[in-house]
Homo-oligomer: A and B are copies of this chain.
Amino acid sequence: MKLLKNRNPAVPGFKAVGLSCGIKANNIKDLALIVSDVPATVAGVFSKNRIVSPTVTWSRRALSSSGGSCRAIIVNSGNANAVVGAKGMEDCDAITKKIAEELSIPQKEVLIAATGVIGVPLPSHKILKAAPQLVLKLGRTVKNWIDASEAIMTTDLISKTDKVSYNFKGHRIAIGGICKGSGMIHPNMATMLGFLWTNAVIDSKTLKMALIEATDRSFNRITVDGDNSTNDCVIALANGEAKNLTIKANTSGYREFVKALTTISKNLASKIILDGEGATKFVTVRVQGGKTRKQAYLIANSVATSSLVKTALFGEDPNWGRIYCAVGNAGAPFDPDKVDILLNKNLLLKNGNPANLPSQKLVKAMRQHEINITIDLHGGKEWEEVLTCDLSYDYVKINAEYTT
């Protein structure tokens, strides 16, 4: 599947490093640093969970206090630094301070993220001790970027990197990114972290707008079990090295940038779904013909999070009734007499009534690895897509057996 290809995410003006500082056992990488050569404009989106890690609180505050400027992002895996009392925020302070010192930059220009077990105090002394070596090893090679992408993994089986680029009025704009997310495996928190960097010239306010648009078509449209972790975040940096004319909101240049940012975000998000241990299907639930995006999203999300639909997909059971039931269960109004449902282009339901497709044909469609469920409401022009996977024995096994 072409989405699985990991491209070298290097972009001019950015350096990275990933190494083991001892949070995880057996010398497994657990600490990553991403640095921009010059102050970059920055934007971030964070978990909507009411309980968040101090790293999220810290980075949110730094984004406000730095005037949208950032030089570095420090990330550890193996420990979420969440629900640990006052020590959590103290550790954020100590770590960002140390990294700022080593890089000779203001502390407020260092953002922080973490992923791993919650409720266990972070062994921050290990990060502080590793800081000089971390900065020393910063580099621009593909190995640097792979190391960084590996150092943010928890239960991911493969690391996730990608890059897109395009010409904008004679300037080559590149966007690189890495992410981690555990697909069907969520031993602790299902945390999703995404980091993006670009050489584009764009102010932080416009970058934030673009990031929200992109994540609302990508990272915010993948679902495994509907949980929002305490540590989720996506952060984007733009260092202006491309020297293009500033990308302004509501211009064709902005639309091009959003399109590229959405493409890389969707590729990275798809890798999270594809990496799911236990996942045997890559499922796209598309709701089109919606009156509003919210209506389309509610319905797509209801289908994509239904355990009944997900187990039927795992069992390759052409049970369209479960899909239709989830549509009705979404809490969004629609006209039942106008609904069409297709599975990999096979019409299952036409105007709310069974299309009576030969079951043999449907069984064959269900055997595909990629399943596209399309629900057409015939009530407008809005659409939403939610990516998900099936619910398999292994999901239960991995989640039930993790700490026992």
Contact = CB atoms under 8 A, between A and B. Distances in A.
Interface string A24-68: 000000000000000000000000111110000000000000000
A318 B402 CA distance: 11
B396 A328 contact: no
A354 interface: yes
B49 A328 contact: yes
A123 B392 CA distance: 35
Which secondary structure dominates chain A's binding surface?
loop
Contact of A325 (B189, B317, B392, B399): B189
A228 interface: yes
Nearest to A309: B227
B396 A50 contact: no
A334 B51 CA distance: 10
A352 interface: yes
B229 A401 contact: no
Given A51-B327, A227-B306, A396-B396, A83 B321 contact: yes
Interface in A339-374: 349, 352-354
Contact of A314 (B49, B316, B396): B396
A132 interface: no
B404 A324 contact: no
Nearest to A390: B400
Contacts of A329: 48-50, 227-228
A386 to B, nearest CB: 16
A391 B396 contact: yes
A81 interface: no
B50 A354 contact: no
A147 to B, nearest CB: 28
A320 interface: yes
A403 B51 contact: no
Which of A229, A327, A399: most chain B Cβ within 10 A? Answer: A399
Interface in A188-240: 188-190, 225-230
A273 B205 CA distance: 50
Contact of A334 (B50, B83, B226, B352): B50
B50 A312 contact: no
A317 B403 contact: yes
B188 A321 contact: yes
Given A320-B119, A326-B227, A312 B400 contact: yes
A330 B82 CA distance: 18
A135 interface: no
Contacts of A396: 311, 314, 391-393, 395-396
Given A315-B401, A336-B51, A119 B306 contact: no
A117 interface: yes
A404 B354 CA distance: 20
A50 B325 CA distance: 8
A321 B118 contact: yes
Given A228-B329, A328-B50, A315 B83 contact: no
B353 A321 contact: no
Contact of A336 (B50, B225, B226, B333): B50
Contacts of A314: 396, 400
A307 interface: yes
Interface string A69-97: 00000000000001111000000000000
A186 to B, nearest CB: 5
14 contacts: A51-B324, A51-B325, A51-B352, A83-B352, A84-B353, A117-B321, A188-B319, A226-B307, A227-B308, A311-B395, A315-B400, A315-B403, A316-B404, A317-B403
Given A83-B353, A227-B308, 10 more contacts: A50-B329, A50-B330, A51-B328, A118-B324, A188-B319, A225-B306, A307-B399, A311-B399, A312-B399, A319-B403
Give 3 nearest A-B pairs by CB, closest first.
A315-B400, A51-B328, A311-B399
